[in-house]
Amino acid sequence: MSTAKENTSAIWDLIKEIPDPEIPVLTITDLGVIRNVELKGEKVVVTITPTYTGCPAMTQFEDDIVATLKKHKYEDVEIIITYDPPWTTDWLSEEAKLKLQNYGIAPPEEKTTDKKYLIGESKKNVICPQCKSTHTKMISQFGSTACKALYQCQDCKEPFDYFKCI
Ligand SMILES: [Zn+2]
């Protein structure tokens, strides 16, 4: 007989590598979305905190968690969504920020605890993911998705997405 704790860690292992539907280099763990995994008898209860509210990625995550667990014979899966505490970009791991940059998306520059940030426009210089120049400019508050702002590098002229701080 395995303990409940061993079983939940096996479930963590199954779902921790689920990629972000929008940014496939990031996993659900990089984003810090999974809050808790619990076993109630045969039922798996996964508690998640959505990232950007209204981001279409979230319902995709729910579907992917359920599908992944079903594939491994966990038929009864419940997803609980909690907004307390709300997700912020501070939850992104340093590794996640590096992955974002390598993928061509500038990671959030500020900690939301600074309280001085503006949604979409960073007060600090956003670093160009292509040439690492800090000479960059916001072109639009919205990039490829509402979660990102569109920036352009003034040196290499490449446009790029900036992952907004929230
Ligand atoms: Zn550049």
90-110: pLDDT as tens digits: 888 888 999 999 999 999 886
d(CA 43, ligand 1 centre) in Å: 49
Q: Quick one: pLDDT at residue 56?
A: 65
Q: Quick one: pLDDT at residue 120?
A: 52
Among the listed residues 165, 36, 43, the one whose alpha carbon sits nearest the alpha carbon of residue 109: 165
What whole-number distance in Å separates Cα of residue 95 and Cα of residue 30?
7
d(CA 159, ligand 1 centre) in Å: 8
103 and 53 inside one domain: no
Decide if 119 is inside a domain: yes
d(CA 49, ligand 1 centre) in Å: 34
65 and 96 inside one domain: no
122: number of CA atoms within 13 Å, CB side? Answer: 26
d(CA 108, ligand 1 centre) in Å: 17
62 and 104 inside one domain: no
Beta carbons within 10 angstroms of residue 129's beta carbon: 21
- The pLDDT confidence band at residue 118, using thresholds 50, 70 and 90, is very low
140 and 77 inside one domain: no
Structural domain boundaries enclosing 153: 92-163
Decide if 51 is inside a domain: yes
99 and 142 inside one domain: yes
d(CA 93, ligand 1 centre) in Å: 24
- The pLDDT confidence band at residue 23, using thresholds 50, 70 and 90, is confident
- The pLDDT confidence band at residue 37, using thresholds 50, 70 and 90, is very high
Show which of 54, 81, 108 is a domain's final residue.
Answer: 81
Residues sharing a CB contact under 8 Å with residue 78, sequence separation 6 or more, in sequence order? 43, 44, 45, 46
- The pLDDT confidence band at residue 85, using thresholds 50, 70 and 90, is confident
d(CA 129, ligand 1 centre) in Å: 7
What whole-number distance in Å separates Cα of residue 70 and Cα of residue 64?
10
- The pLDDT confidence band at residue 57, using thresholds 50, 70 and 90, is low
End-to-end CA distance of the chain: 44
pLDDT at residue 113 is higher than 90? no
**Of 114 and 42, the one with more pLDDT:** 42
- The pLDDT confidence band at residue 117, using thresholds 50, 70 and 90, is very low
Give yes or no for a contact between 130 and 158, defined as CB atoms under 8 angstroms apart: yes
d(CA 127, ligand 1 centre) in Å: 8
Length reported for the chain: 166
96 and 49 inside one domain: no
Decide if 121 is inside a domain: yes
d(CA 162, ligand 1 centre) in Å: 13
d(CA 136, ligand 1 centre) in Å: 8
Helix axes 57-71, 4-15, angle to 10 degrees: 130
Residues sharing a CB contact under 8 Å with residue 140, sequence separation 6 or more, in sequence order? 149, 150
d(CA 120, ligand 1 centre) in Å: 19
**Of 17 and 164, the one with more pLDDT:** 17
- Residue 63 DSSP code: H
Decide if 87 is inside a domain: no
Lowest mean pLDDT among 1-5, 30-34, 149-153, 154-158: 1-5
d(CA 150, ligand 1 centre) in Å: 13
62 and 102 inside one domain: no
Number of domains composing the chain: 2
d(CA 53, ligand 1 centre) in Å: 30
Q: Quick one: pLDDT at residue 152?
A: 95
77 and 107 inside one domain: no
56 and 119 inside one domain: no
**Of 89 and 68, the one with more pLDDT:** 68
